[in-house]
Structure 1
């Protein structure tokens, strides 16, 4: 049998995409690793300093605070996003009323983008919410939460709402793949409600759960857009994430090489966490797929 010839244009497209990826991603990444072993400020001359930048990271209180905030933010947001997404996916899959309204509500911020949503809620928290709080006599709502020590919770609220769309789509696709015969058999055995969810639905969503957990924790450890749009890392440095610190100190603070080392450490941490997640969650998948 004659093999079907592949159009050469496909090879051209793949090669072009690979070149673009190498030029705009791989080369800058390798340059960042190289400069992390120097004292370059982003301009002028530089010298090799070996591991000095990496050793200094462990002594820097600003680095410690940024990592502490980022991990706290990532863990809380990952949990809340996946809980909300599971609830939404199950609700939509059960054909409840107002399903169209729910879809529009959770999918709207996904279309707008994190920066746009952040700027919108910056205005809401600064102007609309305090006005409502003063009108109703609620002291907690009478101030801009983004200017207080609770600013992280304002960012978490917005991030959870804005990030639920993608996770909901993944869970919805997983639910669509569960055969109705499984539920019919469970009904015969008397499995309903939460028992059916814990014993059947959630185990069969193992693959969707793995995808969402890995992508969520990775994305939230790299949180940048929402913070820059809503607080800029403030008040003070209370909401300064690692990515925001790298940008501020690296590109405008004369610490290009130092923050390059910070970026390399962040990359290693995220890669390590992702691999650990995949290892344990894929073992869980195998357990339920057997």
Structure 2
């Protein structure tokens, strides 16, 4: 019996060693296939992303106009950016627009997500409807909004002077239609993020709170918002970063006008760099803009994640 047990025990061990050796061979055989899949993707990424970025940084130290010859000018382009009133105005508009649009997007999206997460009829249908703006080309919707604000609304609301006179041609109010369009389109993605967060909250917490007599606002402040704070951080960072790079919305509605009243940084870089003969100058502007967005995003993460830790 003792010998039988020894043989029986030894059998699986030898089998497991063979199996382990075979697994090691399979892993070694799989490694080349893994690299063959990864390296082409890395090469394409480097060719279409990294190399153009490095070339842009290089040309930002020249006076290249996008054609013809060029010479090195050192840090002149970067120094001139801080003295350019048009560039400073574009940064001011971009940040003002981004802050307003980010706040409105997250407030509206969270309110809609809370409503959709409740037990209402055809909840999944409404989720699909609210996500539609995100999948439609923004330029197409932008031209629809342009017709709405420049033709339809002045006829429908002739008693309101700002709307009757076409908001898109008013330097003081042209930013409002852009914010409305941007918030309408961006809320679709933010709603999905908030819904994902709300579905992770156990319903038992709300049942216990209701038994203790907690009101809806108290539940939201003490249960809902703390538990979706990570999703709130994601939405805030993505929203602000996206709105700082606003481009299509402005092109469709005002093209930066009236004058330069609604000119964003991205639109200024496009106009000056590709059609204004300021390729190197606006490339330097783009380098500064990338650094600004990176710093702002990291600052947001640091502040908002610290708040998550407090909860």
**TM > 0.5:** yes
Aligned equivalent of 2:168, options 142, 146, 152: 146
Query: What do residues 174-213 of structure 1 show as CA deviations (whole Å, max 9, x unaligned)?
Result: 0001111221222222222111101110011111011111
| 1:1-290 paired onto structure 2 within 5 Å | 1=20, 2=23, 5=27, 6=30, 11-97=35-121, 99=123, 102-134=126-158, 137-149=159-171, 150-288=173-311
Deviation at 1:63, TM superposition (A): 0.4
Q: Give, in angstroms, the shift of residue 41 of structure 1.
A: 0.5
CA contact (8 A) 1:81 1:164 kept: yes
In structure 2, distance between residues paired with 1:13 and 1:235: 50
The alignment's TM-score, normalised by the length of structure 2, stands at 0.87
Contact 1:115 1:226 in 2 (8 A): yes
Q: 2:36 & 2:49 partners in 1: Cα distance?
A: 19
**Structure 1: gaps of 5 or more residues:** none
- Distance change (3 Å), C-alpha of 1:116 and 1:9: farther
Larger mean CA deviation between 41-50 and 189-198 belongs to 189-198
Cα distance in structure 1, aligned partners of 2:139 and 2:109: 21
Moved more, 209-218 or 182-191: 182-191
**Which deviations, in whole Å up to 9, do the C-alpha atoms of 1:239-289 show, x marking residues without a partner?**
00000000000111011111011101110000001111111222222232x
Does the 8 A contact of 1:119 with 1:229 survive in 2? yes
The alignment of Structure 1 onto Structure 2 pairs a total of residues equal to 286
With the length of structure 1 as denominator, give the TM-score of the two structures. Answer: 0.93
Matched position secondary structure for 1:48:
coil
Task: Say whether the 8 Å CA contact 1:132–1:141 is kept in structure 2.
Answer: no
Task: Give the distance between the partners of 2:125 and 2:152, measured in 1 at CA.
Answer: 23
Q: What secondary structure, in the 3-state scheme, does the structure 2 residue paired with 1:272 have?
A: helix
Deviation for aligned residue 1:97: 4.3
Q: Which has the larger radius of gyration?
A: 2
**Residues 35 and 260, structure 1, Cα contact 8 Å, conserved in 2:** yes
Q: Give the 3 Å change call, closer, same or farther, for CA 11–117 of structure 1 in structure 2.
A: farther
How far, CA to CA, are the matches of 2:90 and 2:168 in structure 1?
17
Q: Report the Cα offset of residue 141 of structure 1.
A: 2.7
Of the structure 1 ranges 92-101 and 26-35, higher mean CA displacement relative to structure 2 is found in 92-101
* CA positional deviation for 1:100: 5.4
Per the alignment, do residues 195 and 51 of structure 1 end up closer, same or farther by CA in structure 2, a change over 3 Å counting? same
For residues 22 and 161 of structure 1, do their structure 2 counterparts lie closer, same or farther at Cα, with a shift above 3 Å needed? same
Q: Deviations over 1:70-124 (max 9, x none)?
A: 0000000000000011001100000234645643443221110222211211121
**Alpha-carbon distance in 1 for matches of 2:164, 2:34:** 59
CA distance in 1, matches of 2:147, 2:228: 38
Unaligned runs of 5+ residues in structure 2 are 1-19
Counterpart Cα distance in 2 of 1:127 and 1:99: 35
